[in-house]
Amino acid sequence: MKTSLLSSTKDPMGTAIADYYKQGKAAKLRVFSSQFEEDEIPVAQLFRSYEQMPPLEQKALQLAQGKILDCGAGSGCHALALQAMGKEVQAIDISPLSVETMRLRGVKQAYQVNLFDENYVEQFDTILLLMNGSGIIGKLANMSAFFNKMKQLLTPDGCIYMDSSDLRYLFEDEDGSFLIDLADDYYGEIDFQMQYKQIKGEPFDWLYIDFQTLSLYAAQNGFTAELIQEGEHYDYLARLKR
């Protein structure tokens, strides 16, 4: 489990976020993966307002209560929406330029912290992991480390709201049959690398997880998973609770 932070010279998404905030526009934020064709993240989307958010995210913000942690907060779009609702939120991210931008945008508690840093110990009633928030877990092998961290950070009655997607549609045949080689790694384990202008980040693992697999791992780690809402394309919002 990686517990490091990004440096500002290797922070492509943070640089794009800082540019967009300062200049109202940004260059292409490119995404590479050994498993997919090159793609692009529209930087404006990282600055979405509550009204522009998908219903799954709006639902998570409505349900969040008490002391809230926005984990992997990016430009701070969710933290700002929560503050506007009068809720108390702390936002963390490993990206120095994202954290700086969050502060400039008015996020009251924004810290450059890796979720898995063992020195990061606080107590939250709600933990949010949004925009395929399961990604931060990286790989299925990190699942128990993830749940252990959640046990540290959650109050006894606290809960996690996390969204993810089932990538099975990438493997479905035209006739609807589903071809997955069970000897392979789990099909939701994706490697990514981002580039913005000349700034290339380190490759990282990002986990997409179907609800059934999530439920299984949750149960193994003393949590229950509840399906709160499904999105339009194999995506869903789950609540995880002890």
Question: In the chain, where do the E strands start and end?
Answer: 29-32, 39-41, 67-71, 88-93, 110-112, 124-129, 154-165, 189-196, 199-200, 204-207, 224-230, 235-241
Min dist CB 36 to ligand SAH, Å, is 17
Report the sign of the C-alpha dihedral through residues 107, 108, 112, 114, in that order.
negative
Pick from 131, 150, 154, 162: which binds ligand SAH (CB under 6 A)? 131
Is residue 225 at the binding interface for ligand SAH, with CB under 6 A as the rule? no
Query: Which residues, other chains included, contact 44 with Cβ-Cβ below 8 Å and sequence gap of 6+?
Result: 20, 26
Distance in angstroms (rounded) separating the CA atoms of residues 100 and 77: 14
Lay out the site mask for ligand SAH across 133-172 (x = CB under 6 A, - = otherwise). Answer: ---x------------------------------------
Min dist CB 31 to ligand SAH, Å, is 11
Pick from 77, 97, 102, 167: which binds ligand SAH (CB under 6 A)? 77
CB closer to ligand SAH, 46 vs 240: 46
Residue bearing tokens 């339009």: 232
Is residue 20 at the binding interface for ligand SAH, with CB under 6 A as the rule? no
| 177 DSSP assignment | -
CB closer to ligand SAH, 27 vs 180: 27
Report the sign of the C-alpha dihedral through residues 136, 111, 162, 47, in that order.
negative
Residue pair 132/49 in contact (Cβ under 8 Å)? The answer is no
Min dist CB 91 to ligand SAH, Å, is 9
Residue bearing tokens 């929560």: 82
Is residue 72 at the binding interface for ligand SAH, with CB under 6 A as the rule? yes
Residue bearing tokens 């840093």: 117
Min dist CB 35 to ligand SAH, Å, is 18
Min dist CB 118 to ligand SAH, Å, is 12
Distance in angstroms (rounded) separating the CA atoms of residues 180 and 27: 37
Is residue 73 at the binding interface for ligand SAH, with CB under 6 A as the rule? yes
Lay out the site mask for ligand SAH across 43-62 (x = CB under 6 A, - = otherwise). Answer: ---x----------------
**Rounded to whole angstroms, what are the CA distances from 233 to 44, 54, 56?**
21, 12, 12
CB closer to ligand SAH, 137 vs 167: 137
Is residue 81 at the binding interface for ligand SAH, with CB under 6 A as the rule? no
Judged by CB under 6 A, the number of residues near ligand SAH is: 18
Is residue 13 at the binding interface for ligand SAH, with CB under 6 A as the rule? yes
Site residues, ligand SAH (CB under 6 A): 13, 46, 71-74, 77, 92-95, 98, 114-116, 130-131, 136
